[in-house]
A and B are shown apart, each in its own frame.
Chain A
Amino acid sequence: MDMELLQQILVAAIKTGTPLLLVALGELICEKSGVLNLGQEGMMLMGAMAGFAGAYFTGNLALGLLLAVIAGMLMAGIFGLLSLNLNTNQVATGLALTIFGTGLSAFLGASLVGSTINGFKAISIPLLSNIPMLGALLFQHDILVYGSFALVAITWWVVNKTRAGLTLRAVGENPYSANALGIKVIKVRYIAVLFGGAMAGLAGAYMSLSYTPMWMENMTAGRGWIALSLVVFASWRVGYLMVGAYLFGAASILHLVMQGIGFTISPNLLAMMPYVATIVVMVMISANPIRQKLAAPMSLAKPFDARRH
């Protein structure tokens, strides 16, 4: 394969993987605290809609971004209220959040379908972007992609190297012991859930302000769900998450590549590829259930209720 094409594929894999990386990073933190939020798709859609609306009405992309993050956090707040305060089943509540977010974003964004804005543009970093291959891969992106690199680094550092990370993991492993040690379990979980919402909002904004600068009903097309598989794929480790996101990104654009080399397959069959790839990856990583059990936070999806113990 010629280098030009390979470079294009890798760059596209990073662009396509970025929304997955952002939303999965939020879910990873959320799950580390023992909370399984299946509402990523709904939060992402709200982020995409709010981000687009904000940028469209104010003409300011940064304001759009801020609005998307707030929208994601508000959605996560609803989830927190139900699952953390009212101890509802996390699986069902997450599904409700997705159904709600899909409906609300479609409802509020109905008048924006077909509108256009100027999305985020790539910024070439002087000198560094001239490095052959690496320059194009890492230093010719828009600000959101650079931001995602930074967020991965910060999240990795917080989870693995700080006291806050230790507290987070303690809550996710055994909230009752953490509680006995004086850690405010519900507070920690709220922070993790809200962080997940903020990241999902950001991921949605990346979709509607950068990847395809527009708003369309259901435009995230299942990326929130793919991100949930990505967290399992990464066995709850931040570093693997980044590799996984770009691999999934590459899998999602495989159909474009195939069209590029001249394969003539129905575009609808090719559009299935990311979902098929996700199932194949899940089969590969789930084949060893013991490994998964050891990697997952012990109290994942189990409500914490001090009143009952």
Chain B
Amino acid sequence: MLKTQARLESSKLMSWLSPLIAIVLTMLVSSVMFWALDINPATAFKVFIIDPLSDGYNLGELMVKTTPLLLCATGLALCYKANIWNIGAEGQLLVGALVGSYFALQANEQSGYLWLLVTLAAGALAGMIWAAIPTLLHQLFHTNLILTTIMLNYIGLYLLLWGVHGPLIDPDGFGFPESAIFADSVLLPTIMEDGRASISILLAVVFAIGSGIILYRTLPGFQLRVFGSDQPAARYAGYSSKFIVWSVMLSAGALAGFAGVAEVTGPIGQLIPQVSPGYGYAAIIVAYLGRLNPFGIIFAAFFMGTLYMGSDLAQIELGMPTAITGLFQGVLLFFLLACDFLIHYKIVWQPSAGVAQPSSSSAKQGAA
């Protein structure tokens, strides 16, 4: 019968295979679900995975969805590598979009590219400040980072809603909660003829690669990794925990804030209440799917972007509620976490000796 056995050394192979196994298992579970909903799983997978990659327009939209995920997940991976539980990318993104929009609305057609840079910087800075709040509270009062960052996500959301219903509302917009459409001078240049994908996807990839190089090729990156895996050792080596916590939190905030401002000055072109369909939360999964490695995260972000894109298409073509994205995300994260079991344990076949073997859960309790 099958038994689990602790590995003496964690498996390198499995740490790369487990995300793939998780994706396959998620697809199996979703097939059952599609089948239960009377949708041919083959059709569903075509809509979810093939169609988003099928033509130029869809590819552009895929990049639009991927950009904020990649930016947020890169920042979160830095935090999680250092064992710092920042769940606040969503709020940092929203505040970046809000503050960026304020600056973008001050521009007119004559404002040069400099004003676009100011707008982008303001958005990134806003995200950074939003991340600085929980960091400061954590450093001064030891508040729980998970809970403060989540509260700030909600506060950020209401701040954005306040902005878009209040001071930033379009005076000629018949009371709709939307800002005026931004001047062309503060819009990010697009990278394709048709479609909305802007140069922010290229910047996101550059930031991810840059983070990867810092993490794996520089001394601060090494210190960060030691700090994350063995805090006492890092302290013994004299690494400043303050420096590490602040630098990862502020970087993550700046990246998420930039993601927000890149959304409003890119594909959206104005401030609307629905800036993010939960990118900041999905980025947590992207970070894990990419094994907290910025290079892996690039692929993971494209995969998750495909899922978002696919669910948009599934809504149009199959009439499925978009909530299905969240469902898939949850299942995928479950399987990702579960498959990591294989890194530290192996499943072995032991021929039954004829007597009843203890089940794996009772074996776990040992001599009890």
Tell me the minimal C-beta distance from A176 to chain B in angstroms.
Answer: 10
Do A88 and B155 form a contact, CB below 8 Å, given A102-B326, A107-B321, A107-B326? no
- Chain B, interface size category, equals 35 or more
Q: Residues of A contacting B24 with CB < 8 Å?
A: none
Of B61-69, B197-205, B332-340, the one contacting chain A is: B332-340
Interface string of B167-205 (1 = CB under 8 A from A): 000000000000000000000000000000000000000
B236 in the interface, Cβ–Cβ < 8 Å?
no
Q: Residues of B contacting A289 with CB < 8 Å?
A: 142
Tell me the minimal C-beta distance from B285 to chain A in angstroms.
Answer: 7
Q: Residues of A contacting B238 with CB < 8 Å?
A: none
Q: Residues of B contacting A103 with CB < 8 Å?
A: 323-330
Are B330 and A104 within 8 A (Cβ)? yes
Q: Residues of B contacting A88 with CB < 8 Å?
A: 337-338, 340-341
Instruction: Please report B residues at the A interface, Cβ cutoff 8 Å.
Output: 4-6, 85, 87, 137, 141-144, 146-148, 150-152, 154-155, 158-159, 161-162, 165-166, 281, 284-285, 288, 321, 323-331, 333-334, 337-338, 340-341, 344, 360-361, 363-368
Tell me the minimal C-beta distance from A37 to chain B in angstroms.
Answer: 12
Interface of A is mostly: helix
Q: Residues of A contacting B366 with CB < 8 Å?
A: 179, 306-307
- Shortest 8 CB-CB contacts between residues of A and residues of B: A100-B330, A103-B326, A106-B323, A306-B366, A103-B327, A96-B333, A268-B162, A110-B321
Interface string of A277-290 (1 = CB under 8 A from B): 01100110011010
A129 in the interface, Cβ–Cβ < 8 Å?
no
A99 in the interface, Cβ–Cβ < 8 Å?
yes
Tell me the minimal C-beta distance from B88 to chain A in angstroms.
Answer: 12
Instruction: Please report A residues at the B interface, Cβ cutoff 8 Å.
Output: 38, 42, 78, 82, 85-89, 91-93, 95-97, 99-104, 106-107, 110, 179-180, 182-187, 217, 221-222, 225-226, 228-229, 232, 266, 268-269, 271-272, 275-276, 278-279, 282-283, 286-287, 289, 292, 305-308
Do A287 and B85 form a contact, CB below 8 Å, given A100-B333, A282-B147, A307-B364? no
Do A275 and B154 form a contact, CB below 8 Å, given A82-B338, A268-B162? yes
Are B334 and A91 within 8 A (Cβ)? no
